[in-house]
């Protein structure tokens, strides 16, 4: 456990994923909130209990559970903790369906065919979801307390403004303390890696999905303007200097988009999946989904700049303009 400024305690909880540990924050004050309680397995929940014990409290003392976004490493144990505490689960509104048990929506959509993902790999995706599901606890619908962008909420005895910004997840929630200088950034801003623009099916949109990377980049200006003094991310160490981080992130994506343009040129008429395999030849199983998300995000940027065009639609193929 690490004590951070402003009455915030942190535990780094284990996950079975390549990302390593996930940060769980305890906001202590006249009320108590737990942000991102990790996954539903004993190695992790015991550390959440130890974190509470170090603060001299137990689960029923928790007044709110916050989930920055509906990825299992962050929300897995939220239902377990909220039930024991009889507390609400606070989240961004667009994450409600994932938290209600539908986080594996990709397998129910035909996006995999449109993106050129081989049929056999769809089974790998299903197997991954089945593997992960037991590491999440169901969250009763009545517990969910969705927030909209710029809502203000009291957590841990302090006032926070919600920044609900799509990109890594459609309803990703960051929290900015209204007094002091702290931002809880979830996976929207990470100090050591650029967040994956995760593929988000959305049947109401023209492509059946969100343009995750475009939306992500569009959200960054507000964080530069905010320029918080301390950022508490979902993975890795706390950091400062958001303007520099955002500058590096933007130039990273410009360079990556040009790499993808070269790949499209060399492959001729690739699908998003073909591009992902060329970008990340060592991917296996479900990791292909993250690779396709990266490829697709950059193909969207190139398409917006009229550097690639689509020449088919099932699967979609791209050609350099
Ligand atoms: Zn994460």
Which domains occur in the chain, in start order? 2-244 (3.60.15.10)
∠ at Cα 43 (42, 47), nearest 5°? 100
- Picking from 108, 295, 291, 120, the residue whose alpha carbon sits closest to that of residue 208 is 108
Can you give the pLDDT at residue 206? 87
Note every long-range contact of 243-251, with CB atoms under 8 Å and residues 24 or more positions apart, other chains counting: 245/189, 245/191, 246/189, 246/220, 249/194, 249/220, 250/217, 250/220
Q: In what order do the strands lie in the sheet with 8-13?
A: 2-4, 8-13, 22-28, 32-35, 64-66, 89-92, 144-147
Distance spanning both ends of the chain, measured CA to CA = 53
Distance 23 CA to ligand 1 centre (A): 9
Distance 207 CA to ligand 1 centre (A): 25
Distance 300 CA to ligand 1 centre (A): 23
* The pair of three-digit structure tokens given for residue 154, joined into one six-digit string: 């009291």
Distance 313 CA to ligand 1 centre (A): 32
Can you give the pLDDT at residue 104? 63
Distance 74 CA to ligand 1 centre (A): 6
Pick out the chain residues at pLDDT < 70: 102-108
d(C-alpha 77, C-alpha 67), whole Å: 10
**Contact criterion met (CB below 8 Å) for 79 and 50:** no
Distance 312 CA to ligand 1 centre (A): 34
Distance 272 CA to ligand 1 centre (A): 23
Q: Which residues surround ligand 1, an ion (CB under 5 A)?
A: 73, 187, 234
DSSP 8-state class, residue 187: T
Over residues 94-112, the pLDDT tens digits come to 999 899 876 666 655 788 8
**Contact criterion met (CB below 8 Å) for 38 and 72:** no
* The pair of three-digit structure tokens given for residue 181, joined into one six-digit string: 């200088």
Which residues partner with 26 through β-bridges? 9, 34
DSSP 8-state class, residue 15: -
Distance 76 CA to ligand 1 centre (A): 11
- Picking from 291, 161, 296, the residue whose alpha carbon sits closest to that of residue 223 is 161
Distance 196 CA to ligand 1 centre (A): 9
**Residue 132, phi then psi, degrees to nearest 5:** -85, -30
Which pairing describes strands 144-147 and 89-92: parallel, antiparallel, or unpaired?
parallel
């Amino acid at each position: 456990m690490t004590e951070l400024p402003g009455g915030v305690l942190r535990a780094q909880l284990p996950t079975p994923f390549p990302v390593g540990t996930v940060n769980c924050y305890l906001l202590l004050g006249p009320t108590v909130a737990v942000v991102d309680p990790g996954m539903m397995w004993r190695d992790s929940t015991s550390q959440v209990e130890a974190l509470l014990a170090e603060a001299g409290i137990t689960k029923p003392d928790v007044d709110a559970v916050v989930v920055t976004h509906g990825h299992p490493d962050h929300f897995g144990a939220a239902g377990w903790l909220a039930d024991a505490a009889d507390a609400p689960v606070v989240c961004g509104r667009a994450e409600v369906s994932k938290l209600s048990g539908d986080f594996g929506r990709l397998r129910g959509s035909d996006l995999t065919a449109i993106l050129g993902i081989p049929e056999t790999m769809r089974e790998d995706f299903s197997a991954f979801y089945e593997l992960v599901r037991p590491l999440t606890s169901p969250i009763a619908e009545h517990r969910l307390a969705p927030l909209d962008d710029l809502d203000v909420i009291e957590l841990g005895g302090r006032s926070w403004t919600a920044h609900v910004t799509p990109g890594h997840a459609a309803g990703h929630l960051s929290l900015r303390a209204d007094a002091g200088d702290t931002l809880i950034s979830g996976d929207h801003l990470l100090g050591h890696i650029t967040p994956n623009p995760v593929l988000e099916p959305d049947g109401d949109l023209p492509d059946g999905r969100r343009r995750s990377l475009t939306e992500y980049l569009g959200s960054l200006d507000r964080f530069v303007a905010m320029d918080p003094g301390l950022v508490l991310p979902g993975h890795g160490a706390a950091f400062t200097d958001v303007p520099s981080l955002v500058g590096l992130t933007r130039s990273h994506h410009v360079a990556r988009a040009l790499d993808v343009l070269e790949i499209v040129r060399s492959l001729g008429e690739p699908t998003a999946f073909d591009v992902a395999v060329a970008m990340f030849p060592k991917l296996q199983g479900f990791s292909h989904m993250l690779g396709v998300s990266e490829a697709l995000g950059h193909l969207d940027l190139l398409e917006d700049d009229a550097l690639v065009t689509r020449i088919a639609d099932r699967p979609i193929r791209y050609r350099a303009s």
